[in-house]
Structure 1
């Protein structure tokens, strides 16, 4: 099978590395300087920048693929840039023209709101985004789901951690951090790659998943423990205050349809 991965960055690149062992993989980056990195890993490299779309580049990137993985992170619109949903709207005609019938979209749990009730949410919960980024992601989901020319599976990922990427590095040693009793909803990059790979391998399309590690801890508990494990100065949280957040479920569906378990 040939697979096109739009966005071979922090998550898309390791996914491409995993899939290229058994599939032909085309990968996209936004700058020419990154193309050799893909080539060295056996990934067919393409430069695709949806802020400055090049029809030939996009057509070449998509041509011959059965699956398109969209792994570009949402960014609040900068001056002169195309909005995140509009980028995907512009991509849809190319996807249809290429004859791609299966799309895998890496979404975010930011489509769910937070409150003092600490609601439990999963894939069937009605989204209620509160941040600008969450609102754009939700519109982007609808752009893809509304297209009948291909079947879209959406994976709403929790906060992404792995390698050198972890919020604790920004929190270490800081004082007066709010919301100490709010729940943590994170997922490791390796778990993300396993989930996305299984969706493709098992051909699970037209579904929505939420993907967060099932262990529920408060921000104080979690970041204090992680800081200790990494030899960092623990963050200092305020005492009391209002607790807001959400607890993301959905692990049962991941296990049932994909066979994915968490360590």
Structure 2
């Protein structure tokens, strides 16, 4: 008998994937979740998520990936590229997804949502919409674009890509890393952040609206300058005030989320970050 709601699998139950999976369970979806940690299997099960241990490597997919994908209609891929500060292609996120693809193609998955990043766009003093051609400055951004293409061009399932800006939440904020630092660049560039609650809300709206074969930029429409925002946040959180250098022009893009508001009729819940 077919479930009233489609079975969803969340590949990567980390900082975003785990609360997302819990919210999907609350909304009545049958949910599978993957983790690389055997210790986390119990936590997933305790929260109503059918757990699987799945590890992607550049050579193979390890663990119970076939069981994880069985009877799944919607697959959400939310795993970090793990390429921060990497400047060469010796470590390949693309290879990991290429190894995963045959398992998806042979499964019941009909729709796929890939969590990407606005790092696929270069930094420039422009407003960026989904119509802009990606031109990443980092290895992580370059490999994310390659993965987006792999998934969007695959005829075996419908793919929607969501490019999130900087992720923040109750336990995560960039000011904690910037507090007290000096000579920070780009004081007049604007912030492009999004709260975890809106990340989850937008993903649920994509599923609800059946918004497949789409690409969305997802950034809260709140864009004070970096200097204005981080000085204020440091003061609010009783942290050392960061100091910005103003000896050269600021460079930084402004990400537009207008498509999300128009196509998904989504209203951001956390506007004043």
- TM-score, with length taken from structure 1: 0.94
Structure 1 equivalent of residue 16 of structure 2: 11
3-state SS in 2 of match to 1:156: strand
CA distance in 1, matches of 2:80, 2:71: 25
Deviation at 1:54, TM superposition (A): 4.7
After superposing on structure 2, the runs of 4+ consecutive aligned residues of structure 1 that deviate more than 6 Å are: 77-81
3-state SS in 2 of match to 1:124: coil
Question: Alignment RMSD, CA only?
Answer: 1.8
Kindly report which structure 2 residues correspond to 1:245-256, keeping only aligned pairs within 5 A, or say none: 245-250=252-257, 252-256=258-262
- Are the counterparts in 1 of residues 97 and 147 from structure 2 also a CA contact under 8 Å? yes
Deviation at 1:239, TM superposition (A): 2.8
Structure 2 equivalent of residue 97 of structure 1: 106
Structure 1 equivalent of residue 44 of structure 2: 38
3-state SS in 2 of match to 1:68: strand
Deviation at 1:61, TM superposition (A): 0.4
Deviation at 1:53, TM superposition (A): 4.0
Deviation at 1:82, TM superposition (A): 5.7
Deviation at 1:38, TM superposition (A): 0.5
CA distance in 1, matches of 2:162, 2:234: 29
3-state SS in 1 of match to 2:55: coil
- Are the counterparts in 1 of residues 60 and 96 from structure 2 also a CA contact under 8 Å? no
Structure 2 equivalent of residue 210 of structure 1: 217
Deviation at 1:81, TM superposition (A): 8.1
3-state SS in 1 of match to 2:262: helix
CA distance in 2, matches of 1:79, 1:133: 10
- Are the counterparts in 1 of residues 54 and 62 from structure 2 also a CA contact under 8 Å? no
The reply to whether residue 162 of structure 1 matches residue 162 of structure 2 is no
Deviates more, 1:217-226 or 1:173-182: 173-182
Structure 1 stretches lacking a partner, 5+ long: none
Structure 1 equivalent of residue 3 of structure 2: none
Aligned residue pair count = 260
The reply to whether residue 113 of structure 1 matches residue 126 of structure 2 is no
Residues 164-220 of structure 1: per-residue CA shift (max 9 Å, x gap): 211100111111111111111111110000001111122110000000011111110
Deviation at 1:238, TM superposition (A): 1.5
- TM-score, with length taken from structure 2: 0.91
CA distance in 2, matches of 1:68, 1:105: 8
